[in-house]
Structure 1
């Protein structure tokens, strides 16, 4: 029985494959539960900026293999570059089979225009001081590792998990102002350009809200992340919704059992099969 949900558009961002903070197993469960027409990867999917040969576990490879399987099955996969995978921006405009690499994307959904981009273009700390942003990334990884230790202890004690990074973000006024400013800049630009939806990632804050100014209104959407919030965006039946793994969690689907049983070498081989005839410039 195929229990997968049909979704017109699914959006994930800020997965950070290749880092300790990534929860690839949960993401794989989610991806195995849907049958999307279009899958939008809205930045920071593979954390190239902090890539290390020492850490890229099997579950992370399984996510890449699953995305490639989507493309092979006819799903339109759109990879929008972010700041942690900005090295891919030199390939922007490239199409490999059903996988497109772009810096931004405009889609027409049931008569409405949606503007997709990661959002790091608004982040002055990244644009003007990349070394500082990278330093912050290492500190964030240490915080995530410490948080995992705390959660391991809490689970053993029969208590709920706790997110230190979310607590810090939500309690620091500067962080709250940054998020507010980010949303305001994104929505002001979207209204000025006449977009009905503006869909971002980057700030790891899942959200869906109508934003207005003197010139009009737009719907701001943020897909969140798979480090702290485990969230995605879904468009179906002319409506957007935020999927939350913790509250909308479904049991694992076994239609992709072959991925689960493949060893690391098999996964690498499957991922790196390359057909030069499939590469096109848009």
Structure 2
């Protein structure tokens, strides 16, 4: 099936290694697109809650898919978040088309996009990390409970229900926190001359214009792949929020070549890519030189 070609895709808050992660749906989405750039905007691997007892095959396939996309020419930027903060020690490291960073600035058709996870605005993480981690475990338990409730609802022919969304929407403090987060990110972007500010972290997909006396910018949030199953896409100078649950695409299965490759082969395919390119250029030069010599010989005859 033909893939959609897009300039840029942004996903965040996948939380691989937790029960709430929708890895199969994410693989289906990644198989449906062909982006020039892919930004993984934090909390892709949930290192806070990582356990050897739970990391199913579908979660490993996501990692293989991401590395596979990099090996095939997509620029992949892994921006660190709070749940994968251990990777910040590898900031500015790169391996072929796969790069790790704490933040990213991209030039998109003459406009500047400021991309970062957003946990820098979270006071609970900065001042009481143990409380934030405890909240992460509580959220995972809530998602597990919600999955069971939704299974029961589907079996009885009723619509799915989000407990966490209900709690967030019903608690004034949570609503205020989200509003403050969005406003702070937008105001900082305007102050620093950015046209777009792209975040994750709060699991709240959004696209909204902000304006003050100093200027204006477009605030964007990629949402998550735990509850909302959303991503951001940029093409033809426009941003859109992609909703997996609203997509009527036919199922996309894991690429056949990806099934056969193990992780070591995928990594090798990235690192050897540049070497292979040099070989092609060298062979091309040699062929041209031989061709020139042949033409000279014919001219002399």
TM more than 0.5: yes
Q: CA RMSD in A?
A: 1.9
Does the 8 Å CA contact 1:208/1:219 hold for their aligned counterparts? Answer: yes
Q: Distance in 2 between matches of 1:78 and 1:148?
A: 31
2:247 matched residue in structure 1? 248
Q: Deviations over 1:240-268 (max 9, x none)?
A: 00000011241222471344x55xxx645
Q: Distance in 1 between matches of 2:272 and 2:7?
A: 28
User: Match of 1:49, SS?
Assistant: coil
Q: Deviations over 1:4-45 (max 9, x none)?
A: 000100000000000001000111110000000000000000
Does the 8 Å CA contact 2:27/2:254 hold for their aligned counterparts? Answer: no
2:127 is the alignment partner of 1:124: no
Higher relative contact order, chain-length normalized (CA < 8 Å, sep 6+): 1
2:153 is the alignment partner of 1:139: no
Q: Distance in 1 between matches of 2:177 and 2:15?
A: 21
Q: Deviations over 1:150-207 (max 9, x none)?
A: 1111111122211111111111111000000001110110000000000000000000
Does the 8 Å CA contact 1:61/1:267 hold for their aligned counterparts? Answer: no
Q: Distance in 2 between matches of 1:276 and 1:219?
A: 37
Q: When the two structures are superposed, what TM-score results if normalisation uses the length of structure 2?
A: 0.87
Largest Rg, 1 or 2: 2
1:10 matched residue in structure 2? 9
Does the 8 Å CA contact 2:104/2:116 hold for their aligned counterparts? Answer: yes
1:218 is displaced (CA, Å) by 0.3
Q: Give structure 1 regions of 4+ aligned residues with deviation exceeding 6 angstroms.
A: 274-278
Against the structure 1 CA distance between its residues 238 and 227, is the aligned structure 2 distance closer, same or farther, given a 3 Å change threshold? Answer: same
Q: Distance in 1 between matches of 2:179 and 2:91?
A: 29
| Structure 2: gaps (5+ residues) | 274-301
Q: Distance in 1 between matches of 2:209 and 2:234?
A: 16
User: Match of 2:48, SS?
Assistant: helix
Q: Distance in 2 between matches of 1:49 and 1:37?
A: 31
1:276 is displaced (CA, Å) by 7.7
Against the structure 1 CA distance between its residues 127 and 277, is the aligned structure 2 distance closer, same or farther, given a 3 Å change threshold? Answer: farther
1:239 matched residue in structure 2? 238
Against the structure 1 CA distance between its residues 211 and 152, is the aligned structure 2 distance closer, same or farther, given a 3 Å change threshold? Answer: same
